[in-house]
Structure 1
Amino acid sequence: MAVCNPKPPLMAIFVFFLFLLHKTNSESFSFKFDIFEPDTFPIALVGDAFSYGGALLLTRIDQGGDSVVIRKNSVGRAVYLTPIHLWDRFTGNVADFTTEFTFVVDSGGPLLHGDGLAFFISPVQTALNIPLNSSGGYLGLFSPENAFNPSPYQVVAVELDSFGNAWDPIPEPLAAHVGIDINSLRSVNTTGWPINSVPRRSLGKARVVYDSKTKELSVTVSYGSKGGTTVSVSQIIDLKIVLPEWVRIGFSAATGDLVESHGIASWSFTSFLRQPESK
């Protein structure tokens, strides 16, 4: 007569724990906002940023009777409060991530307008702090003192810059561009941004992807469906060297003497941090 052994085989236990170990040795994180309700958590609105009509407006718009006035020298940020695990100090592995957002930049009519918005990644401790005197071409990211001094300030940003300043690749007012910034307002790589050639109030879509294997940060900005206007730019960046292990992500925008509105209509983010596979 056969006797049933209630104890599971040792090999089965071993395989089971290997499976659990493998499952916990990868870390993923994601969120998606198709619309922004008032007081959307966990997004913090800093400075002049506010939510209105299901969107995030990063710079101030004042209602004056029947007219709308875009405020000069306005600065605002929208920051996702939950820290993102960008890389692992024990393994040295860096996360892959993809973020997409739709946006509207409206000049209000004038040919000359400014100054732009940016998606940024920065240390947890500084993400909510808007630097002093960071309106205008500083995009709410930098103060004049640290804008071109990369040593004390940590930030990686994708800027949609609607006004060409003296430090930009083409220092002309209509030279709008998409740029990648590393600890400095002087972009390491840029491409043209067709904000002045698309219809007013056009909905743009930006996609930012980081591949940890190639260390490439790639950016695509498009308007319209297939066949519409699309521009792209990329840069090799070792984020482990540039940024701390834990970061926050968000948007920043600014106006100066020239103005425009900066609206974020939707936003999604996904990251995946690989860990060594179990042997």
Structure 2
Amino acid sequence: KVKSADTVCFTYPNFGNAVSDLILQGAATPDKGTVKLTATDSNGIPRTNSVGRVLFSSPIHLWEKSTGKEASFSTSFSFITKPSPKGGTIADGLTFFIAPPGTTIPSKIEGEYLGVLEPSTGNDPSKNQIVFCEFDLYKNGIDPSYTPHLGINVNQIKSEVTAPWNTTNVPTGSTAFVRITYDAPSKKLSVTLSYPDVSNSFRSTLSHTVSLKDKLPEWVSVGISGCSGLQVSLNNLLSWSFSSELKKVGTSFAITDM
């Protein structure tokens, strides 16, 4: 029996209307019903060293200090990433991140830190308070041998776990669909990326066990970032939905498709 709960639920099937409940940071701008995450010039050519982020404006109650109970959540979003019209290597990637309220774009932009960590402290977990799922397009020194890849990161840019981002049979510019869930009882954070509109494409999956209440404050912000460094790409967020529930009495939360 559930007597009370802190719940948050929002859905943006597109970004064509007013998005007053969202915060756009950095290069993030509305663009024909999408949010363009990284900057372009007047000719549509991606700019180097660009970060854009979209955050939900209200804080999320992630866990309750008096009981230690955690919220379960699920989030889904879709995006397109493609190379510059001028060609070249595609980089750097996107993240879904959970961070303290008031989080801002790093003061120095380097592509490998994906718009969520300062380069000076991004390799030191004692200096950060953030959990994020990365969708990494470009191989940097700390990355696995396979690129592109998915990663789950806790307080640093080196991923706790990674998995290949399978783009076999996927044409350039196809829409990627992401689903991320956190099951509080099992403390399992799971990521799935797929291309349901592409025949014969493959699903990429990844999971990691982590207690979010041990890594993050009681109240948090959630957001999506896109970043380009010296290598660039076009990155557009097409949709985003999120649902969380912190049950103050009771133990179960069913994660279902949104």
Between Structure 1 and Structure 2, the one with more helix by share is 1
Offset of residue 154 of structure 1 = 0.6
**Of 48, 56, 62, which residue of structure 2 is paired with 1:72?**
48
Q: What is the TM-score of this pair, normalised by structure 2?
A: 0.91
CA distance in 2, matches of 1:57, 1:135: 19
Contact 1:38–1:51 at 8 Å: present in 2 too?
A: no
What does residue 253 of structure 2 align with? none
CA RMSD after TM alignment: 1.7
Paired AA for residue 106 in structure 1 = K
Kindly indicate whether residue 147 of structure 2 is the aligned counterpart of residue 168 of structure 1. Answer: no
What does residue 132 of structure 2 align with? 157
CA distance in 1, matches of 2:148, 2:168: 8
Paired AA for residue 134 in structure 2 = E
**Of 180, 192, 216, which residue of structure 2 is paired with 1:243?**
216
CA distance in 2, matches of 1:246, 1:227: 41
CA distance in 1, matches of 2:168, 2:41: 24
Note closer, same or farther for the CA distance 1:115–1:36 as it changes in structure 2 (3 Å cut).
same
- Deviations 1:2-40, CA, capped at 9 Å, x for gaps: xxxxxxxxxxxxxxxxxxxx6542222200001113651
Kindly indicate whether residue 188 of structure 2 is the aligned counterpart of residue 213 of structure 1. Answer: no
Taking only the aligned residue pairs, the percentage that are identical comes to: 36
Paired AA for residue 170 in structure 2 = V
Kindly indicate whether residue 12 of structure 2 is the aligned counterpart of residue 33 of structure 1. Answer: yes
Contact 1:38–1:52 at 8 Å: present in 2 too?
A: no
Kindly indicate whether residue 95 of structure 2 is the aligned counterpart of residue 121 of structure 1. Answer: no
What does residue 4 of structure 1 align with? none
CA distance in 2, matches of 1:180, 1:227: 26
Contact 1:48–1:59 at 8 Å: present in 2 too?
A: yes
CA distance in 2, matches of 1:102, 1:250: 13
**Gap runs ≥5 in structure 2:** 251-258
Q: Which runs of 4+ in 1 moved over 6 A?
A: none
**Of 162, 180, 195, which residue of structure 1 is paired with 2:152?**
180
**Of 76, 93, 96, which residue of structure 1 is paired with 2:72?**
96
What does residue 206 of structure 2 align with? 233
CA distance in 2, matches of 1:209, 1:193: 18
Q: Secondary structure at the match of 2:126?
A: coil
Contact 1:73–1:257 at 8 Å: present in 2 too?
A: yes
Kindly indicate whether residue 103 of structure 2 is the aligned counterpart of residue 134 of structure 1. Answer: no
Larger Rg: 1
